[in-house]
Structure 1
Amino acid sequence: MTNTRMVKAVVLIGGPQKGTRFRPLSMDILKPLFPVAGFPMIYHHIDAARKIKGLREILLIGSYQQSDALHRFIMEVQHEFRILIRYLQEYAPLGTGGALYHFRDQILAGNPEVFFVMNCDVCCDFPLAEMLEFHKSRGPGVHHTILGTNATRQQSLNYGCIVEDSETHRVRHYVEKPETFVSTTINCGVYIFSPDIFNCIAKQLENSKEAINFDLTSTEQNPNIVKLDDAIAKMTTEKDSNGIIHVYHTIKFWSQIKSAGAAVFANRHYLSIYHRTHPERLAKLGPNQPNIIGDVFIHATARVDPTATLGPNVTIGSGVTIGAGVRVRETLILDGAIVGDHACILYTIIGPRATIGQWTRIEGTANDPNPNKPFAKLDVCGAFSNDGRLQPSITVIGSSVFVPSEVVILNSIVLPNKELRGSFKNQIIL
């Protein structure tokens, strides 16, 4: 294997116009900073990227306005990992390809041999070192690599589908969310690009501008918007394109975090891999400690009564208070929330500073046949409906919501700052 001169990583974090399916959680917390298994979503990307040999810089690209929360997160992670992290803000949403192209000078500064690109809403084992090894093994020349995994025929219709040469793993055809079946190999939203990718994106920009100029009714469109998927599809059909694309297959866990329900399953996965990567983060049984079942993360500042039972697959955020006799399972309880004595919370996300009364039951219904087994692949997690979409009916309690004592909340979504006065089932409480 040849030595890598220098590597960078880019995380595409989107913007406020995205993440609508993640509401109401994204109404108070930037989606990239939503905590999963005790840490912001993009923390897991950065933690994986920093281990790449030769990595010098991580760039976060999105259209969120600069905020104290985002700035504080970057400063804290830079200090923890001793690596340069910068946020590059788009002047307007430019699409995944357009955003990369707009900041191409910053990405290419220092002359990196290759750079990783990761979508923010991806949750996986991030086999980045193995992926880079595969990329280099393809030999000299201009080429790029996509991380791929297998889905069922029905699930594949919701993702970018890859048709490859079975021997060389070269991508021969690529279609984003096809109307009919194309392939069970899907794009995982993790890439290794050579600098030549910008030549291909530039061609797509020119085509976009020509199309808008031709269509006089498209005056409100932004000609600088280019989707990375379109550039990839174009590269697989043009013989003189800027490089060959290969697909590296992973058999490890992968999913997307598009909804609150997906965050519950991502939480389970990240907790399970802590056994290998960060066992110190997992709560353990001990004197004057709560009863722990399976994988549980408890922030050091949380106060949990020793008579409570937590797990499996539970995350307790900073400053949370858990009362006596509480039962929590498959749930995230976010910073500053209070759970009263003898409450029962299953398949739920409790937002920051929410208050749950005594003897209250809050429960979601997840399409999950085996909750005790960490899922390894897309098609065995049990969280997909018949159309292939990840849609468990978990309950979401928004930030600063008050839920009284002795009520039942089932399969419902409660927007922030509400004071409930009774029980609810299968409702969205605005």
Structure 2
Amino acid sequence: MRPLKAIILIGGRQKGTRFRPLSLELPKPLFPVAGFPMIYHHIEACSKVPGLREILLIGNYQPSESIRQFINNTQREFKIQVRYLQEYTGLGTAGGIYHFRDQILAGNPEAFFVLNGDICGDLPLAEMYSFHVERSDGSQMTLLGAEATMQESLNYGCLVENAATHHVVHYVEKPSTFVSTKINCGAYICSPAILRDIAAVRRHHQDENFSGVNGDGSLRSIESISLERDVFPELASLDKLLVFYTEGFWSQIKSPGSTLYANRHYLKLYHKTHPNRLVKNGDGQATIIGDVYIHPTAEVHPSATIGPNVSIAQGVTVSPGVRIRESIILDNATLQDHCCILYSIVGWNSVVGPWSRVEGTPCDPNPNKPFAKLQSMPLFNNAGKLNPSITILGSDVQVPGEVIVLNSIVLPHKDLAGSFRNQIIL
């Protein structure tokens, strides 16, 4: 059996602006969700696929110490080769694959997965591969699909399929009008021949002196090629694109708010995959409600009440009487006596003073629905005010005692002087 590979597209600093201020301190793909970096969950899913020998991370982040350390740790844990390939500029979801085609084809892989770094979910990769092999009658790629509502579908790539053969016959990325409730989940299994189709698109760009527009309205160069906008519509017209559906949990992580949604569902998934990661109630321990992850190095007072859907990172101090719900607490944060953290992210090394309240407003009314409105909600509403959202404390933020921080974003290294509501504190 020829080996398999996986490619994880991690983007770069020019992307992920909606993820600020959290991405100011750490590359977005390494932000911890349910106790582990976003793309750690991708690598763990890939490691379970028989015959998968290598994982390539493609992006244009500078190779920082955090990226190097992450790669070393994951290689040791999963006993699989992980390499980072840095683009010289943003090349798009297909451009990076084509640019590094020699590294991808090294070792003559039978097929390779492509995963967007900003998706999360219970990814059925082995099942996708089996489906692709069984039905790949000249098809170059199988994409993972899901069912959305009519309104939600406009935020994603939409497809129309031949139900008898599972071929995609029409594909539109983020259409302006309704096309289909079937959407693209950003996970693919590709035959090596897909590189010929990407090359054809690139030649077309060169022949036409092409200068397209990205999804955010910015101009893109000839070298920038998009799977979703340039390649998929062509594959669909040639009957070379298949779709495999998942009914499991899936979403994108575009904004900090959507990390809480992903955190909730990854914690729920741990019941099946890693029950040892979930904290249980016990004598002399904090009161745990629902699904909670606490790093072994965190210090949590027995009088605290935590959960549901909370992740607490390494070095965190949780003092007496603290209440935490639907939140992520990052490395070395300190929550002082009787403070309350609800629907919020508390940044690295931040301190929340005694009897203070840090709170966001949830806007996911149905915790069991498969998509998160938080990911596409604009920062401001039509009245120019912040939309109801989670509260985010950047790194090294000092919140004094007996104040309320509600629906606000606090940039790093701020000492708050009082209470704030619906504000961005610069």
Compute the TM-score of the two structures, normalised by the length of structure 1: 0.92
The match for 1:299 is 295
Distance of 1:305 and 1:311 partners within structure 2: 14
**C-alpha displacement of 1:139:** 4.7
2:309 aligned with 1:310, yes or no?
no
Map of 1:342 onto structure 2: 338
Q: 2: distance between equivalents of 1:261 and 1:228?
A: 26
Residue pair 1:367, 1:384 contacting (<8 A) in 2 also: no
Specify whether residues 329 and 264 from structure 1 end up closer, same or farther in structure 2 by C-alpha distance, changes over 3 A only.
same
Q: Return the offset for 1:141.
A: 3.4
Identity of aligned residues (%): 57
Against the structure 1 CA distance between its residues 418 and 260, is the aligned structure 2 distance closer, same or farther, given a 3 Å change threshold? Answer: same
Q: Cα 1:133–1:214, aligned 2, differ >3 Å: closer, same or farther?
A: closer
Q: Does 1:282 align with 2:281?
A: no
Is residue 200 of structure 1 aligned with residue 197 of structure 2?
yes
SS of match in other structure, 1:422 = coil
Change (3 A) 1:21 1:413: same
Distance in 2 of aligned mates of 1:214 and 1:356: 49
Deviations along 1:85-119, one digit per CA (max 9) or x if unpaired, are 00000011111110000001101111111100000
| Alpha-carbon separation, structure 2, partners of 1:213 and 1:247 | 29
> Corresponding residue for 1:102?
99
2:360 aligned residue: 364
Q: Does 1:410 align with 2:406?
A: yes
State whether structure 2 residue 226 is matched by structure 1 residue 227. Answer: yes
In 2: Cα distance, 1:180 partner to 1:107 partner: 37
Where do 1:416-427 residues align within 5 Å? 416-427=412-423
Q: Which amino acid aligns with 1:222?
A: S
Paired residue type of 1:424: F
Which AA in structure 1 matches 2:85? L
State the alpha-carbon separation in 2 of the partners of residues 106 and 146 from structure 1: 22
Distance, in Å, in 2 between the alignment partners of 1:100 and 1:63 is 13
Q: CA deviation at 1:275?
A: 0.5
Verify the 8 A CA contact 1:212 1:221 in the aligned structure 2.
no
Aligned with 1:353 (options 338, 349, 366):
349
Amino acid at match of 1:417: H
Residue identity matched to 1:334: L
Deviation at 1:368, TM superposition (A): 2.8
SS of alignment partner, residue 212 of structure 1: coil
1:131 aligned partner, one-letter code: M
- Is 1:321 the counterpart of 2:317? The answer is yes
Contact 1:347 1:395 in 2 (8 A): yes
Structure 2 residue runs without a partner (length 5+): 213-218, 379-386
Q: In 1, distance between residues paired with 2:408 and 2:134?
A: 50
Report if aligned partners of 2:155, 2:376 keep a CA contact under 8 Å in 1: no
In the alignment, which residue of structure 2 is the partner of 1:40? 37
Report what 2:84 is aligned to: 87
- Provide the rounded CA distance (Å) in 2 between the counterparts of 1:146 and 1:429: 41
Instruction: Give a deviation string over 1:212-257, Cα, whole Å, max 9, x none.
Output: 3799xxxx953111001111112222x4xxx711100111111000
Residue correspondence of structure 1 range 262-277 to structure 2 within 5 A: 262-277=258-273
User: Given the superposition, is the C-alpha separation of residues 139 and 22 from structure 1 closer, same or farther in structure 2, using an over 3 Å criterion?
Assistant: closer
Mapped partners of 1:367, 1:288: distance in 2: 35
Secondary structure (helix, strand or coil) at the match of 2:171 reads strand
Shift of 1:377: 2.5
Counterpart in 1 of 2:126?
129
1:130, distance to aligned residue in structure 2 (A): 1.2
Instruction: Mark the CA change 1:40 to 1:384 in structure 2 (over 3 Å): closer, same or farther.
Output: closer
SS in 1 for 2:18: helix
Distance 1:386 1:65 in 2: 29
How far the C-alpha of 1:392 sits from its partner, in A, is: 6.0
Counterpart pick for 1:377 among 354, 370, 379: 370
Q: Does 1:333 align with 2:329?
A: yes
One-letter identity of the residue aligned with 1:418 = K
C-alpha distance in structure 2 between counterparts of 1:45 and 1:16, whole Å? 20
Q: Which residue of 1 aligns with 2:394?
A: 398
Query: In the alignment, which of 149, 163, 166 is matched to residue 163 of structure 2?
Result: 166
Does the CA-based 8 Å contact 1:236-1:245 persist in structure 2? Answer: yes
User: In structure 2, what residue type is equivalent to 1:294?
Assistant: G
**Matches of 1:95 and 1:57 in 2, distance apart?**
22
Read off the aligned partner of 2:348 and give its amino acid letter: P
What residue identity is the alignment partner of 1:318? Q
Residue of 147, 150, 155 corresponding to 1:150: 147
Q: Does 1:182 align with 2:179?
A: yes
> Aligned to 1:261, what secondary structure does the other structure show?
helix
- 1:406-428 C-alpha deviation (Å, 9 max, x unpaired): 00000000000001000000000
1:370 positional shift: 4.5
Alpha-carbon distance in structure 1 between the residues aligned to 2:67 and 2:376: 34
Deviation of 1:307 after TM superposition, in Å, equals: 0.2
CA distance in 1, matches of 2:125, 2:83: 20
Is the 1:367–1:385 Cα contact (8 Å) retained in structure 2?
Answer: no
Shift of 1:386: 9.1
After the TM superposition, which residues 10-89 of structure 1 pair with which residues of structure 2 at under 5 Å, given as runs? Answer: 10-89=7-86
**Alpha-carbon contact 1:251-1:376 (below 8 Å) kept:** no
Partner amino acid, structure 1, of 2:120: C
C-alpha distance in structure 2 between counterparts of 1:234 and 1:72, whole Å: 39
User: C-alpha distance in 2, partners of 1:221/1:302?
Assistant: 45
The residue type equivalent to 1:364 in the other structure is G
| Mean CA deviation greater in 330-339 or 220-229 | 220-229
What is the CA RMSD across the aligned residues, in angstroms?
1.8
Paired residue type of 1:234: E
Q: Aligned AA for 1:172?
A: V
Structure 1 pair 87–384 and aligned structure 2 pair: CA distance change class (3 A):
closer
